[in-house]
Amino acid sequence: MARNKYDIDETLQTEFNFSHLKRLGAYIKPYRKELLITIFFVSISSMLGLLTPIFLMQIMDDYIPNKNIKAIILVSILQLVIFLLISVILSFKISLTSKIGQNIIHNIRSDIFEHLQALPFSYYDDKPHGKIQVRVVNYVNSLSDLLSNGIVNTITDLFSLLFIIGFMLIVNVKLTLICLLGLPLLIIIIFIIKKKQRVAWQISSNKSSNLNAYIAESINGIRVTQSFTREQENIKIFNTLSNDYRLAWIKAVKLNFLMWPAIDNISTWSYVAVYVVGISWLDNSMQGITAGVIIAMTGYIGRFWAPVNTLASFYNSILTAVSYLERIFETIDEPVLVKDCEEAIEMPAIKGEVVFKDVTFSYEDGVKILNGINFHSAIGDSVAIVGPTGAGKTTIINLISRFYNLDSGEITIDGVDISKATIKSLRKQMGIMMQDSFIFTGTIIDNIRYGNMEATDEQVIKAAKTVHAHDFIINLEDGYQTQVNERGTRLSVGQRQLISFARALVADPKILILDEATSSIDTQTEILLQEGLSKLLQNRTSFIIAHRLSTIKNCTFIMYVDGGSIKEMGSHDELLDLKGSYYELYMSQYKFLEKE
């Protein structure tokens, strides 16, 4: 798939619309009370700050000419008190808005992660994991400043703008109108660069996503990279992707920075116009212009364009955030294809009868992986699935666990159609060991208990002993409390498989699924493991995929799968007597072992 590459830009499935901002508002709504309180106090501080030019006008036009020193001192003290009060309010605002912003960020990130837990394997099959991770971390983080300060600053600056215009009109109406002449020009500039900004930030987010995807892939494959001395080639690829992101980010930032010089220039022109017109009217008593009026107006002009600049910055932030919101909500809106139906029932206690009825399945439209699979396994049967690579063996066991939806057909367990049962109640009664023996960061005992969080230490140790993992575990520095890293890099491949085996068994499942469970275990350990499992598998239905045919000779029946269908089915001896595909596979292994 084209999307499943680090060097291919993602394309949005839907166009942005302002309903995305409405959805963002739903995350803000629970904190509206705190935000309103903050806005109220910040608005008061803003209004108090606007008294300064009035004080200056009064001092220039009245107190200084009349040499009223006492009034000047009182105004100075009042101004100091106002500044202290504004400082306290701003400190309160910073503390509260930061807390609110981070709470909202946490809620958005939690929703994305929760949704990712429910998405089917097909979603992860189709997208590099780095491109998923960047949405949960980087994109959400990019909204932090917008949510922490942008909203409160914007609302309070809107109020400030109204207050400023009100004070300016009180001081002088004509000079106020002159100052406002620059607004239409600014609005035109905003609309010109708006679309370019959104596209630029979309491209930047694409390049960031590509870079993160490659970094994640490189870290996961570092052993292969160093084994084949691919470091220099990987550095070249990284530098190319990093440079693409750098150039895209610079272009987006340049568009953002167009707003500031535009406002700065318009602000400067307003100053000049007010000074020129104001001074020319200074001696005209009809205009009511005094030195104090000019000083007050120029003071307000600076304050007028400051919130305009903030509003323009917020507008920039919105356009930047839009490119991230599109990706975030696209992820949250990704359909959960494998989910409980409306009338789903709790899966009864499983006994272990599994039936496939004309099961057809494909990962992609038009490319069938399984075509008309039919079989019946009774309670307690051990079913082996063999065949060439890509035949559909793993797909069959994935469908039993309902990791994918069927194209057609039906799978029943104890007569219950699994598509009609809740996923949680189905999977909780299964023990599954995949080909990838994934080990999580934490202790060994927690990794084994992952399959059943209610398991006691004794049950964990019993499972470990059954799969012969106990001996190597107790020889580690802290035994079962030994800390292991992500993917279990401190452990050998065989040790990781044994831990994964114990994890599957500690769930005490009625259906046990083993996909190449012994592929990385030495022959001696495998013999011991088979001895322990022979007892454990009694009264359990098990499905086993194994390339070592010697390990499945005692299974109830064996299915030879090829080309998406079951070519042969029977016991080990029955299939040998057929002298068909299974016979040829077995004999090829037998001859190979004889040569050894």
Contact 511, 425 (CB under 8 A): no
Residue 415, Ramachandran bin (φ over 0: left; ψ between -120 and 50: alpha; else beta): left
Contact 486, 496 (CB under 8 A): no
- Cβ-Cβ contacts under 8 Å for 335 (sequence gap 6 or more): none
Q: Higher model confidence: residue 332 or residue 182?
A: 332
pLDDT at 468: 81
Asked if the model's pLDDT at residue 282 lies above 90, the reply is no
Asked if the model's pLDDT at residue 299 lies above 70, the reply is yes
The CATH number of the domain where 389 resides is what? 3.40.50.300
Query: pLDDT of 307-326, one tens digit each?
Result: 777 676 676 667 667 767 87
303 and 166 in a common domain: yes
Tell me the mean pLDDT in the region 235-250. 89
DSSP 3-state percent helix, strand, coil across the chain (nearest 5):
65, 10, 25
Report d(CA 491, CA 472) in Å as an integer. 10
Give the pairing of strands 430-433 and 511-515.
parallel
- Region of poorest pLDDT, from 60-74, 162-176, 366-380, 454-468: 162-176
Query: Is 277 within the bounds of a domain?
Result: yes
> At CA 282, angle to CA 278 and CA 283, rounded to 5?
155
The last residue of a domain, from among 280, 298, 332? 332
440 and 401 in a common domain: no
> At CA 533, angle to CA 461 and CA 509, rounded to 5?
70
Q: Which amino acid is at 166?
A: G
Query: pLDDT of 544-569, one tens digit each?
Result: 887 777 778 888 999 999 988 999 99
309 and 175 in a common domain: yes
Asked if the model's pLDDT at residue 127 lies above 80, the reply is no
Q: Higher model confidence: residue 4 or residue 138?
A: 138
Domain hosting residue 408, numbered range: 340-429+512-517+539-596
pLDDT at 596: 46
Q: Higher model confidence: residue 34 or residue 191?
A: 34
193 and 53 in a common domain: yes
496 and 474 in a common domain: yes
Give the pairing of strands 382-386 and 541-545.
parallel
Query: Is 561 within the bounds of a domain?
Result: yes
Count: domains in the chain? 3
304 and 363 in a common domain: no
Predicted TM-score (pTM) of the model is 0.67
* Token output for 258: 């167009």
SS3 567: strand
Tell me the mean pLDDT in the region 117-136. 79
Q: Partners of 385 in the beta sheet?
A: 545, 559
Asked if the model's pLDDT at residue 61 lies above 50, the reply is yes
